Every structure is written in C-alpha cells, then in structure tokens.
Structure 1
Amino acid sequence: MEKDNQIFGLRAIIEAIQSGAVIDKVFVQKEAAGDLMKELMKAIKKANVNFSYVPVEKLNRLTSHNHQGAVATISPIAFHDLESLVNSITESGQMPLLLILDQLSDARNFGAIIRTAECTGVNGIIVQKSGSAPVNGDTVKTSAGAVFNVPICKVEHIKDAIFYLQGSGIKTMAATEKTDVNIYDINFNEPVAIIMGSEDRGINPSVLKIVDEKAKLPMFGTIGSLNVSVACGAFLYEAVRQRS
C-alpha cells in the first residue's frame, strides 16, 4: 500500500471520516475493543464507509506505525453519482457503454480493467461500496493513470444500479459461462452496461436473474476460464468492433 495513501490510528481516521475525506476502505483489527474503537465503528457506519475486520498481522504489514487497531486508505479520486453520470452521458448524445463490476476484489485486476475501459471509450464504471477492490496505489499504477479519466460510481447495491439502468433504457448484459449465447451473437450497438463478476465466484446468482442478456466467450483450451481483466477486454473490444 502507498504510504501517502493511508491513515493510521483511531482518532486520525475518525477525524478524516468526519471531515468528509474520501475514504476508500478501513481495515479494523478483529476483536479490538475500547471506547475509541466504538466511536470509530459508529463513524464508519454513519458515513457508510467500506470496512473489513482483519487480523493484527495484516495491519502490521500495512504500516510499521502505531495503528491502534485500524488503518484506512484514502481514495486518490472522487467518486461519481450514478444518476448524474447517466444524465450527463444522455445529454451529451453519446451511446452509453458502461461497466458493472460485481464484487471484483483484486486492485490490480481493477486497474487493468480501468485501463482497457479508458482505451475503449467506456463512459463509466460501477462498483458496489462493500466488497469491491480499493482504489489504491496498485490500482492507479496498473491503470497507467486511466483511473483519473474514467468516472467511477460507488453504489449501495449492484442490483439497484441494474434496475436504474434498465429504467433508463440501458441494456444490462452479464458476461458468464452460464449461458449458451455466444458474445458474437449479442448486439452491442445500443446503450449497454456489461457486467463482470469477481475473480473466484463470478457474477452473483441473484444478479444473473435480473439482467437483460447473458453471453459467454468461446473457449477451446482445457483451462476453461480467463482472467477477468482479459475477458473484460474481449467484451469491450467486441463492443468497439460493432460500433466502429
């Protein structure tokens, strides 16, 4: 983790949250107690900040300073409001091309996807506040700086975002092997949001139930799966091919 991208210590993190700093995630020591820790957790929940409980060894790896049981990462970017983003895309006359990342957890995969998204003209990326990869130094580096060019929206629930997009006339299309439909049979020449799943579990079954379409990449090897950032690139460039 980048040292200039982190805050350590209970009081420092509390003050950062209360001051309105864009906190990407707080790592909290398991079974930590005390009045100040209770105050921190109250502030985290009130501001709806993403957090996770971790062993003290994890915190010690994040920083050599006296962390008092908590380390936070500050996001290097400001996140966008989904409704405002969709409205701005519509008003600009562009045909929306959006990405939804369902519980993607690896910062480097996230960065690689952002880089490809920037190169393919993606209008915005939607992630869930809880359980998603952080926007940290690894993300910035792997994205080659593209993270500063592609709007990223954090939403409470992916399913609510999908319902909103569908109501806005944007087709939602899940990239999943749980379908017989080939990617090359999908029409990308219309407003569309492509949904990619997490590295280990794929797209949540409850999300798959509500999407408009599903598509898979043809696979001919024995492994049967691609890295999510590679698969995402294949889907995005098929959209570019059809729209060119």
Structure 2
Amino acid sequence: MSDQIYGIRAVMEAMEANQPINKIFLQRGLKGELFKELETAIRKNGISASYVPIEKLNRLTRNNHQGVVAQISPVKFQDFESLVEKVMEEEKMPFFLLLDQVSDVRNFGAIIRTAECCGVHGIIVPKNGAAPITDDTVKTSAGAAFNVPIAKVDHLKDAIFYLQSSGISVVGATEKTEDEIYTMDFNQPCAVVMGSEDRGISPSILGVLDQTAKLPLLGSIGSLNVSVACGVFLYEVVRQRRA
C-alpha cells in the first residue's frame, strides 16, 4: 500500500502542500467544524474520498487517525494542460494515452509499463473512478510509473476536447465499431483511449471521439484483458511510425 498520513490537520496540510493524494478515508458519522473544513477542502481539490466505519481506519493504521486516513501516491501527477503544451512544443508526433475508468491497480501498472516502452508522452486519467497509483502499481510497472508523465483531470471528456483543439486525433479502442485498428492512420499527433475492464469506454466518451477501432478476435472469447489490448493498440502506433 502507498504511504499514509492521518489526522485531520495533517491531511489538510498535505492538501495545501499539493501532495499527490490518491484517496482519503473518512470516518462515517464524524462531525465538528474542523472536519467540515476538511470536507470542503477535499471537494475543492477534487480528491476521491470514501466514508467508512472506524474499523476500516483501524485496519489501515494503528496510529491515532482522528477519523481520517489519506493514501499518498508515490508518483507526483502532472498538470494536464501544461503537459500537453510541453509535448506539443517538443515533439513532432505527440502520442497520448487516456484511460476511462481502468480500476485495477495491476492492470494500470502493466499499461504504464507498456506505454513507457512505446514512447507514450503522457497518460491521462480521471480523478474519480480510476485506479490509484499504489506501491503495487509501481511494482507492476517495473518502475515505469516514474518515467511516464501522468495527469489527472476532472472530466475525461473535457481532456479529449482540449486534445482535439490542439490538433490531436483521438481514437477509442472498442468492439462497438466496424473499423479494425489496422485501418487507422497513426502517423499524426494522436491519443488512444482505453476503457474499463468490465464496461469498456463509456457511451458519453465514445460520442466525442474522432475515430473508433477494434481488434480482430478470432477465437470464442469476446474480449482481451485491457492491459493486453492496450499493448496491441500502442504497438500498432509504434509499427506505423517506424515503417
């Protein structure tokens, strides 16, 4: 598990210092003015939070948690717009990866590892619903989580609009299309969107993409693990750009 901080004031100070917080666990039913201030700060900073029984907090730490435990990410997240601007200035062929609600930390780690090997310039994930970056994520990524810039955004749809306005074509991986990946043109600034393990790309995201593509599945099983499918998509970009 990632490093933790606990106690209301300690967690508030961590937010003020822009510490990369994965998630905050709050004791269900806790009251008080300071606790209300903490709740306001959590909402203001867009940090994922869950209200849990005190027994859950006691399992997370043996220290005096005061009803609050925050999990700190081992990786510092990038500012999304600054990341895009930097890549657009420095790279001839920007290459981004967006993950729509990928929730398993090991899948996330495997995807980060593949993205790093494929030269992805940045990974974009939503603040809510995405897998946190934990020690398991870093381990599964073989340390690649420290090498690939990762940005969190309030809404993935807004991030897609921003990429499109920057001249980046956004392609979604989905079986709900007739076009196969091998018909796509990745010799241009592009971003690939991968969906969640169980539902794929959400309908609201599918509706704003420039293109969608699927992988040919020749067996009886209807889908691949998301990290495997992501690897195939990313390496098709690599193949085309090296051809």
**Cα deviations across residues 108-163 of structure 1 (Å, max 9, x unaligned)?**
11111000000000000001111211111111111111111101111111000000
Aligned AA for 1:87? E
Q: 1:145: which partner in 2?
A: 143
Q: Following TM superposition, by how much is the alpha carbon of 1:105 offset from its aligned partner in structure 2, in angstroms?
A: 1.3
Q: 2:21: which partner in 1?
A: 23
**Cα deviations across residues 204-223 of structure 1 (Å, max 9, x unaligned)?**
10000010000111112222
Secondary structure of 2:208 counterpart: coil
- The separation in 1 between residues aligned to 2:109 and 2:175, in whole angstroms, is 23
Q: Following TM superposition, by how much is the alpha carbon of 1:75 offset from its aligned partner in structure 2, in angstroms?
A: 1.8
Aligned AA for 1:239? V
Determine if contact 2:112/2:148 at 8 Å carries over to the other structure.
yes
Secondary structure of 2:19 counterpart: coil
Q: Following TM superposition, by how much is the alpha carbon of 1:55 offset from its aligned partner in structure 2, in angstroms?
A: 4.3
Deviates more, 1:16-25 or 1:160-169: 16-25
Aligned AA for 2:78? H
Listed as ranges, the gaps of 5+ residues in structure 1 are none
Q: 2:47: which partner in 1?
A: 49
Secondary structure of 2:204 counterpart: helix
Q: 2:113: which partner in 1?
A: 115
Determine if contact 2:46/2:154 at 8 Å carries over to the other structure.
no
Residues 161, 181 of structure 1: CA spacing in aligned structure 2 closer, same or farther, 3 A cutoff? Answer: same
- The separation in 2 between residues aligned to 1:200 and 1:236, in whole angstroms, is 20
TM-score (structure 2 length as normaliser): 0.93
Count of matched residue positions in the alignment of Structure 1 and Structure 2: 242
Determine if contact 1:114/1:146 at 8 Å carries over to the other structure.
yes
Secondary structure of 1:77 counterpart: coil
Secondary structure of 2:38 counterpart: helix
Q: Among the aligned pairs, what percent are the same residue? A: 63
- The separation in 1 between residues aligned to 2:199 and 2:73, in whole angstroms, is 26
Q: Following TM superposition, by how much is the alpha carbon of 1:87 offset from its aligned partner in structure 2, in angstroms?
A: 2.0
Correspondence 1:87-236 to 2 at 5 A: 87-236=85-234
Aligned AA for 2:170? T
RMSD of aligned alpha carbons? 1.7
Deviating above 4 A after TM superposition, structure 1's stretches of 4 or more consecutive aligned residues are: none
Residues 108, 209 of structure 1: CA spacing in aligned structure 2 closer, same or farther, 3 A cutoff? Answer: same
- The separation in 1 between residues aligned to 2:192 and 2:28, in whole angstroms, is 36
Residues 197, 59 of structure 1: CA spacing in aligned structure 2 closer, same or farther, 3 A cutoff? Answer: farther
Q: Following TM superposition, by how much is the alpha carbon of 1:61 offset from its aligned partner in structure 2, in angstroms?
A: 3.6
